[in-house]
Amino acid sequence: MNKVLLGLVLGAILGAIDGMTAWLTPEVRAQIAGIVIGSTVKGIIAGVLIGVFARKVQSIALGIGFGLAVGLLLAFIVAQMQHGYYFQIMLPGGMVGLLVGYATQRYGRGQQSQRT
Amino acid sequence: MTQLSDSVVARLRTEMQVPDLEGTRYRIVRHLARGGMGSIWLAEDTVLKRRVALKVLDLVAPADDFGARLLQEARILAGLEHRGIVPVHDAGTLADGRAFYCMKYVEGQTLAQHIAAKNIQEKLRLLERIAEPVDFAHAHGVIHRDLKPENIMIGAFGEVLVMDWGLAKVGAPGLRSAENEISTLVLLTPNPSRVTGQGTVLGTPGYMSPEQARGVTTQLDRRADIFSLGAILAFMLTGSVRGEALAVKGNVPRPLRAICEKAMAADPNARYQSAGEMTDDIECYLNGAPVLAYSEGLLERARRIYARHRTAIVLVAAYLLMRVLFILLSRR
């Protein structure tokens, strides 16, 4: 599996799990479907961005840093749209970015060398 | 008639051994080492202005037979163009009738000197680089037959070179030796371990395979070198010279012990069948993957998987912990 696809799959899975945990917050339980879809899409976007970065840059530290930054940024945008729950949204979002950042650096096939 | 003292005779002998380089492009600098049928001299190539090593046949050796063998050794080396095999620049016969060949002068340390301060991973990487030219030679039908730490040189820039192909045997590429194989051998020297012929022994005790120790020279194939690579690995891991009775103990991890034992199996069929196969197993060990030579228990497998994916496991655990904390907090 290449790094971009790995990022996409991991981002989608972790994003979906992230969204599903909103069910445990009674105030937002009614909007669970929208939250899961939104969170999955957020995870996919983050995963693809982090995967593309991992293809270009081979560094675990930079990969984790970039993943964390992307995860936090996207989570911040979502939290802004929700007008609250910054901690509940941004902490897991950052963790997901960090996990995907590490995984795409450590695992997955890198860029193929070009044939001349 | 005046009798010469021992010291004068010894001095004359030494002087006689100095090769006559008249008419060649080389100039002797100093003596480097003595081999089975000749000596290695440090020389200067006066045309290219570089230092080279000259292997010159002993004056006392019966020149025709041994000269042909020395040139055969040079031809084998010349045919093995690999970064891990010392390159031959020139070969021929000196004015005094002695055969010689000229090769790259390697400045560096022997394997034993080099590995003193290395950790296991570095030693394993080093062994992979030793096995590489050996595998290359096997692919070209050449068996070294005298692999040992003294014949491995590590250059000043970390380059690994397999030296002394004086016992090498050429056959058809493949596992078995061809019947019409050529041997560069060897020697009627004072060293009994280096006498050849069917039923006689050549090689170095501790590093030569049981079949080689029995003197079954016609049945030797590349698996004899695999045995030697196993013995070298055991030496690198334990610091002691090993014979057939392998007891790699101490701090050597079990998979590595198993790799040594498989490489040094008494039955050639039970060994790795190529140097590449052996290095693949070493690579598996280095990457935290299961090793072919060792069947691990459940606990060992779990430990290996944890060691291989430690960071990922810690991150996932941290994520799950965070999730559990969120659940607990949301229920308050």
- Residues belonging to chain A: 116
User: Using the beta-carbon criterion (under 8 Å), do A99 and B315 form an inter-chain contact?
Assistant: yes
pLDDT tens track for B131-165 = 999 999 999 999 998 899 989 999 888 899 998 88
Give the chain B residue whose CA is nearest to the CA of A20: B323
Helix, strand, or coil here: B160? Answer: strand
Interchain CB contact of B325 with A (< 8 Å): no
- How far is B271 from B277, CA to CA, in rounded Å? 10
Residue B7 CA: distances (Å) to CA of A49, B2, B39, B117, B261:
81, 14, 21, 42, 49
Interchain CB contact of A96 with B (< 8 Å): yes
Interchain CB contact of A61 with B (< 8 Å): no
Point out the residues of B that are catalytic: 146
Interchain CB contact of A89 with B (< 8 Å): no
The mean predicted confidence, pLDDT, of chain B is 82
CATH topology classification for B20-104: Phosphorylase Kinase; domain 1 (3.30.200)
- Please, which residues have CB within 8 angstroms of residue B101's CB and are 6 or more apart in sequence? B54, B55, B70, B71, B73, B74, B77, B88, B90, B91, B92
Q: What is the ipTM of this complex?
A: 0.75
- Please, which residues have CB within 8 angstroms of residue A98's CB and are 6 or more apart in sequence? A64, A67, A68, A71, B315
pLDDT-based confidence at residue B57 (cuts at 50, 70, 90)? confident
User: Using the beta-carbon criterion (under 8 Å), do A95 and B318 form an inter-chain contact?
Assistant: yes
Q: pTM of this prediction?
A: 0.73
pLDDT tens track for B160-216 = 999 888 888 887 555 444 443 444 444 333 343 443 444 555 667 778 888 888 877
Residue A21 or B201, more confident = A21
Residue B67, pLDDT > 70, answer yes
> Which residue of A88, A102, A103 is in closest CB contact with B326?
A88
Q: Where are the domains of chain B?
A: 20-104, 108-286, 298-330
Interface of B with A in 298-317 (CB under 8 A): 311-312, 315-316
Give the chain A residue whose CA is nearest to the CA of B314: A99
Helix, strand, or coil here: B198? Answer: coil
The string of DSSP codes covering B62-83 is -HHHHHHHHHHHHHHHHH---T
Interchain CB contact of B329 with A (< 8 Å): no
Helix B222-238 vs helix B254-263: angle between axes, to the nearest 10 degrees? 150
User: Using the beta-carbon criterion (under 8 Å), do B312 and A91 form an inter-chain contact?
Assistant: no
Q: B25-34 as b/e, with b when 16 or more CB fall inside 10 Å?
A: ebeeeeeeee
Residue B206 CA: distances (Å) to CA of A97, A113, B155, B268:
55, 44, 25, 16
pLDDT tens track for A53-65 = 999 999 999 999 9
CATH of B108-286, one of 1.10.150.120, 1.20.120.530, 1.10.1740.10, 1.10.510.10: 1.10.510.10
- How many Cβ contacts (< 8 angstroms) between chains A and B? 31
